[in-house]
Chain A
Amino acid sequence: MDAHALHPATSTGIPNRKLAIWTFIGSECLFFASLISVYLVYKGKSLVGPYPSEIFEIPLVTVGTALLLFSSLFVVLALNGCEQGNRKKFLGWLAMTILCGLFFIGMQVYEFTHFFHEGLTMQKNLFGASFFTLTGFHGTHVTIGVIWLLSIFIEGVRGHVPPAKALNFEIAALYWHFVDVVWIVIFPVVYLMNS
């Protein structure tokens, strides 16, 4: 019994917290589905500009998209390192993940400021309202993910994330991947289908 204290046996064999994060992710699917629905229902319904095609900067967002995609790769490499007890691999790739996340947030802050200067606000038109709400909530998720991964990085540096505790990192990584797949949907739906 004591030997399994960290992962007490469960009826399904899946650790409680892993099942919980998947359940939460399932719930979040409906959250983002609703936001995306609102964006699409209001697409082309804005009474005044700026309109999407006038304002999007595809190259900038493509860089952000690539960073977020690569961060997903880096975080699985870090998790692989953590599970194998390879501290260097774990912390190195985790640091890269966090940097990618920070750059993505920076990209979004820059983009939002730029749009603001172009006259697009939440109050201006339905595009502004639904765009800032959808991407803003995604950005909030990225920010929470960065804080979560950062706390694991600090714990890892202090040597508190041995392979036996890799589950702590695994659930954070699952959340991070989910934030990434949401962007995989947002990028084409919002940015590339803009006409």
Chain B
Amino acid sequence: MDSSAQAHEHNFPERAGEYVRIGLILFVLTALEVGSYEIAHRPGVPLHDFMHTGLIPVLIVLSAIKFALVALFYMHLKWDGPLLKGIFSFSLFLATFVIVALLALFIYEGKFSAMIGSLMGATGT
């Protein structure tokens, strides 16, 4: 019993402190997200102009950091081998690709095609 209990302690180190630190960082990042949102929606406060135009990239960066922290530490990917890392990263890559491709097809294709169309119309006639 003693040896197996020790083995377990050996296999599963006490990481509570680390987990709590990550939790605090996640909390701060969420506060930053909401803070950025508030700044972007309140004319007159400091940084308003920056946040008003740059809110989306700021939010993407902040949430990507949160996502990575949870995946690496809480889901233990940091300590897992290449297989599990690979499964999750490949799925994430493909998921992002589908979102970006569909947005490009629905939102940007029309704009680009119209631009090309007008250029060709201008030279053609």
Inter-chain contact B63/A188, CB cutoff 8 Å: yes
Residues in B1-26 with C-beta less than 8 Å from chain A: 5, 8-9, 11-12, 14-16, 19-20, 22-23, 26
A193 at the interface (CB under 8 A from B): yes
Main secondary structure on chain B at its contact with chain A?
helix
Chain A proximity of B58: nearest CB distance (Å): 9
Determine the residue in chain A with the shortest Cβ distance to B38. Answer: A58
Inter-chain contact B70/A188, CB cutoff 8 Å: no
Main secondary structure on chain A at its contact with chain B?
helix
A residues near B120, Cβ cutoff 8 Å: none
**Number of A-B residue pairs at CB separation under 8 A:** 135
B residues near A46, Cβ cutoff 8 Å: none
Q: Which of A80, A178, A187 contacts B16 (CB 8 A)?
A: A80
Q: Which of A33, A65, A185, A193 contacts B55 (CB 8 A)?
A: A193
Q: Which of A69-77, A116-124, A141-149 contacts B (4 or more CB under 8 A)?
A: A69-77
Inter-chain contact B63/A187, CB cutoff 8 Å: yes
Q: What total of chain B residues lie within 8 Å of the partner, measured CB to CB?
A: 49
A residues near B33, Cβ cutoff 8 Å: 187-188, 192
Determine the residue in chain A with the shortest Cβ distance to B1. Answer: A85
A163 at the interface (CB under 8 A from B): yes
Chain B proximity of A176: nearest CB distance (Å): 9
If the complex has contacts A69-B23, A83-B12, A192-B55, are A34 and B98 also in contact, measured as CB distance less than 8 A?
yes
Binding site for A on B (CB under 8 A): 5, 8-9, 11-12, 14-16, 19-20, 22-23, 26-27, 30, 33-34, 36-37, 55-56, 59-60, 62-63, 66-67, 70-71, 73-75, 81, 83-84, 87-88, 90-92, 94-96, 98-99, 102-103, 106-107
Closest 5 CB pairs of A and B: A26-B91, A33-B95, A73-B23, A83-B12, A188-B59
